[in-house]
Structure 1
Amino acid sequence: MPQFRGRRIDVRRRLGGVWIAALSIAVMFAGCGGGGGGGHDHDDRFIDTAGRLVVAEQDATTLRIYDLDDTSWPVAAHALEHPPSAVYASPGGRYAVVVQRLQDQVQFVDGGIWQEDHGDHLHDYKRDSRPMAWRLQGPRPTHYDVQSGVQAAVFFDGDAASAPVRTAAVRLITDDSIGRGSVVAGLDLTVSIHGLAEPWGDWLLTVHRAADASTTLPTHLEQWRRQGAGYSFIRRIDEVRCEGMHGSFTTLDRHTVVGCQDGVLVATTGADGSVQARHVPTPIRIGTIAGHPRLAGHVIGIGNAGSGATATTRFFAIDAAAGVATELVIQDLAEGVVRRAHGFDRSGQRFFVLDSLGRLHQLVRDGPTWRAAGNAQVVAGMPTAAPWPAISANGARDVIYLSDPVARQLVSINAHDGTVLERRDLGYVPSAIVWLGIWR
């Protein structure tokens, strides 16, 4: 999900953002003048495209690419080597990053839509999608952390059960490096650990587990600095301990927020590489951090209170700069109801939560926190086991997509009011959905 950066933007691109406010099914699935599969010259450098949607099928090796600019919605199907455990968008939104965790590799599929900076203008391209020959290999790829529009770190957990033990590792990639078939830089750790790696420029925050840790999860962050194709250790951030560390996000103003057993750890990296860390308490464990590249200094921390049939998901607005956590109350989320999917719209001003009853809730930014917007509506069937529904935002239209594994459908939803725009029958059980294209 590329971040909004202050650089040259065509006037036509700005006007395009105004035009798309009027949503309709035709807008979703038929781009208004948007480019073909061939090339174009510098006089045709802007493509008004709704992008493409990547959909993975449960327990299958076929990855489908749907073109959202075509009313007939043609599909390209690409064969993978193994069923994916997760699918992500590359930092620039061009490639599908297809994780095959148990097979120790990551494959890549070119979505075929991308943007280049040509100095005096931004140039859009649209081609056919295609699988890439390059594979990124390593023990148990699990976490994927992005500096939006710039780079991403793939964290390999390692494998403590193998003989000899395979240790954790970090590999840094960009859209350009995926196209070249190489990593930008790599770091090999000395232990197997379920961790994370948050990149920002040449700096990297990754994990350490203290000898007296109460679980197998990390307890501290470490700072490293990229030197060529490798990393040099800078320091361990000992001033804040984060027991049960899991989940992370780095905001555009360099606040890295990490989930802990008793709240979150906020590590702020200065322009000079200095790191200031603080602990922000919450009454429950935070295991998921939801952030958006256009939200400076704010994330949403997510965790479950209770267990089993009484487990209930709770949400906290984290003001990373102020060091404050404020609980967000979703009125209809009663005891025993948990989150099954969540996601922001493309603006970062709307946050959607799908609960275990199939109801979609919407929260809207209201100053430093969030407020409920309208009543929840049932939009998806709820399976009794994974794959759970998934949410993905269109970065060029005010639409979010929701997979419905029970009905075998893709649900398109107006991101402004949460109303269902269309349901598309897929004919298979979707396990993951990811939007690719040019963010507007």
Structure 2
Amino acid sequence: MTLQTQLKHLSLIIGATMLAACGDATTQIIEKEPIVVPGDGDDHDHGDVSSAGRLLVTSKGSNQVTLFELEDNSLLASIGLTFEPAYLYASPSKRYAMLVQRNDNQVEFIDGGLWQEDHGDHLHPYQQAPALMDFSLNGSRPTHVTVGASQVAVFFDGDGQNGVNASAAMFDEMHIGSDNNDYPIQEFDTHMHGAAQARGENLFATLRDANSATTLPDRIARFHAHGDHFHQEETYEVICPVLHGSAQNHDAVAFACGDGVVVIEEQDGQFSASKIVNSADFTEGMRIGSLRAHLAGEQFFGIAGSQVFVINPEAGEMEKLDWQPHEGAALLAMELSLDGETLVILDSQGYLSLLQAHAHDNELHWELAHKLDISEADVADMPEGSRFEMTLSGEQVFVASPIEKHILSVDLHDATISTELELDFVPQKLTWLGIVGEVADAHDH
């Protein structure tokens, strides 16, 4: 299997009506005000650039995605993808949305239209209309997308029934913006439900014995980029059974195993792997299935069912996090705020929990600061195949309710609901796109 980029014809239609879902890639821009495109006229006269950012929302059962301008919650654009997306991620700078169409073997990208450039003596903000990018990825069953400091790794599981092997691609936002397919690809010798982390010139990815009875891998290797491909540099001896989930922070890369977490650390250009075994809080059948981390942090957070474990690589231990879930509530999503100071958990009963970090004995400890009921609806009325979803900006948590067909904006610091965005469709996934941190003043040089 070979990954490749595809050129797609982008159709821009100015109008006021939403497009019905179809099999073609189409775009409808609903213009609110003139939008300055970089390079037109005075390069430093860009007017007001949105500091609130934009929200991209997918529609259940549709290939149509919608973007809203968060300054006033107005409809900004409706864009038709080739297929309905299953997963949705934001690129490292939050400029691009990455829309994974797993069942249709494709990943497409949308430019949210907000970004900053370093002009030496100042950061310069830009704003333009959202657009479907020419850059796309084709491969068998794209599933896990992981985002590093400036790079993205996409793992394609492959298809055992049809004899298609797994692969992984590593690229950055320059590839997305310029439709450049000059990025390295790793082709594996079998299919697997794997994971990969991009870190500089290195790709940390999973390996699986082709004769294994499970599609989950149990080994980890380091690959080094060489042009359009990788060289396998080393395979770590530590075994990671039923591996599922990975993350990275400032110091290390981690992979979740059935019996613990493998942490790979770098020192003086050398990489070493060790395992932090599951704590005594684990019962039979429990395992960490996904990991979270803040790129500037030192801890990892493992999700095991509805329980969360804080993993401290320096101490070589993990401890259970008391996030005080309601009885019968399943953990749906957990993310760290962009500044790394708040841990946000959304559960199936419609509660949003905010935990704040406190330093004690040179370690961060997390305490529940707020718990907010974000839905007045009966959760029994949740549409089949749907659930509450969330995404974070620098200051807000946006929670989508498929029952009520709306999105609430919740302040990250005091857990107050600030705005409600009403929808005329059932929301499926959402992500925030915009400029991370304070938007620079283009005229302050």
- TM-score normalised by L of structure 1: 0.83
Note if contact 1:63-1:78 (Cα within 8 Å) is conserved in structure 2.
yes
Residue in structure 1 matched with residue 386 of structure 2 by the alignment: 387
- Which shows bigger deviation, 184-193 or 266-275? 266-275
Residue in structure 2 matched with residue 81 of structure 1 by the alignment: 82
For 1:212 and 1:319, the matched residues in 2 are separated by 34
Question: 1:412 and 2:417 equivalent?
Answer: no
Letter of the 1:110 partner, please give it.
Answer: D
CA deviations 1:156-207 (Å, max 9, x no partner) are 0001111xx1111111121110112134211111110000110100011100
Residue in structure 1 matched with residue 23 of structure 2 by the alignment: none
Residue in structure 2 matched with residue 348 of structure 1 by the alignment: 340
Residue in structure 1 matched with residue 313 of structure 2 by the alignment: 320
Residue in structure 1 matched with residue 175 of structure 2 by the alignment: 177
3-state SS of 2:155 partner:
strand
Letter of the 2:278 partner, please give it.
Answer: P
Note if contact 2:146-2:196 (Cα within 8 Å) is conserved in structure 1.
yes
Residue in structure 2 matched with residue 204 of structure 1 by the alignment: 203
Unaligned runs of 5+ in 1: 1-33, 305-312
For 2:266 and 2:159, the matched residues in 1 are separated by 31
Distance 1:48 1:358, change over 3 A: closer
Note if contact 2:290-2:304 (Cα within 8 Å) is conserved in structure 1.
yes
For 1:187 and 1:347, the matched residues in 2 are separated by 33
Question: 1:369 and 2:368 equivalent?
Answer: no
| RMSD of Structure 2 on Structure 1 (CA) | 2.2
What is the Cα deviation at residue 106 of structure 1?
0.7
What is the Cα deviation at residue 210 of structure 1?
4.1
Letter of the 1:333 partner, please give it.
Answer: H
Residue in structure 2 matched with residue 110 of structure 1 by the alignment: 111
For 2:48 and 2:316, the matched residues in 1 are separated by 42
What is the Cα deviation at residue 264 of structure 1?
1.4
Residue in structure 2 matched with residue 192 of structure 1 by the alignment: 191
Letter of the 2:366 partner, please give it.
Answer: W
What is the Cα deviation at residue 274 of structure 1?
2.2
3-state SS of 1:74 partner:
strand
CA deviations 1:232-286 (Å, max 9, x no partner) are 1111101x21111111110022x11221112211111335142332333232300
3-state SS of 1:102 partner:
helix
3-state SS of 1:176 partner:
helix
For 1:214 and 1:411, the matched residues in 2 are separated by 44
What is the Cα deviation at residue 370 of structure 1?
0.6
For 1:266 and 1:45, the matched residues in 2 are separated by 47
Distance 1:380 1:47, change over 3 A: same
Identity %: 30
For 1:323 and 1:45, the matched residues in 2 are separated by 51
For 1:375 and 1:114, the matched residues in 2 are separated by 33
Question: 1:430 and 2:427 equivalent?
Answer: yes
Note if contact 1:172-1:186 (Cα within 8 Å) is conserved in structure 2.
yes
Q: What is the 5 A alignment of 1:282-321? A: 282=279, 283=282, 284-294=286-296, 296-304=297-305, 313-321=306-314
For 1:72 and 1:424, the matched residues in 2 are separated by 6
Note if contact 1:269-1:276 (Cα within 8 Å) is conserved in structure 2.
no
What is the Cα deviation at residue 292 of structure 1?
2.3
Unaligned runs of 5+ in 2: 1-32, 438-445
3-state SS of 2:288 partner:
coil
Q: What is the 5 A alignment of 1:234-245? A: 234-238=233-237, 240-245=238-243
3-state SS of 1:182 partner:
coil
For 2:34 and 2:151, the matched residues in 1 are separated by 27
For 2:390 and 2:120, the matched residues in 1 are separated by 35
Letter of the 2:156 partner, please give it.
Answer: F
Note if contact 2:91-2:152 (Cα within 8 Å) is conserved in structure 1.
yes
Residue in structure 1 matched with residue 65 of structure 2 by the alignment: 63
Residue in structure 1 matched with residue 156 of structure 2 by the alignment: 156
Letter of the 1:73 partner, please give it.
Answer: S
Q: 2:52 aligns with which of 34, 50, 53?
A: 50
Note if contact 2:383-2:403 (Cα within 8 Å) is conserved in structure 1.
no
What is the Cα deviation at residue 121 of structure 1?
3.1
What is the Cα deviation at residue 357 of structure 1?
1.3
Note if contact 2:336-2:344 (Cα within 8 Å) is conserved in structure 1.
yes
Distance 1:369 1:214, change over 3 A: farther
Residue in structure 1 matched with residue 331 of structure 2 by the alignment: 339
Residue in structure 1 matched with residue 222 of structure 2 by the alignment: 223
Distance 1:374 1:116, change over 3 A: closer
3-state SS of 2:175 partner:
helix
For 2:210 and 2:128, the matched residues in 1 are separated by 51
For 2:267 and 2:139, the matched residues in 1 are separated by 31
3-state SS of 1:128 partner:
coil
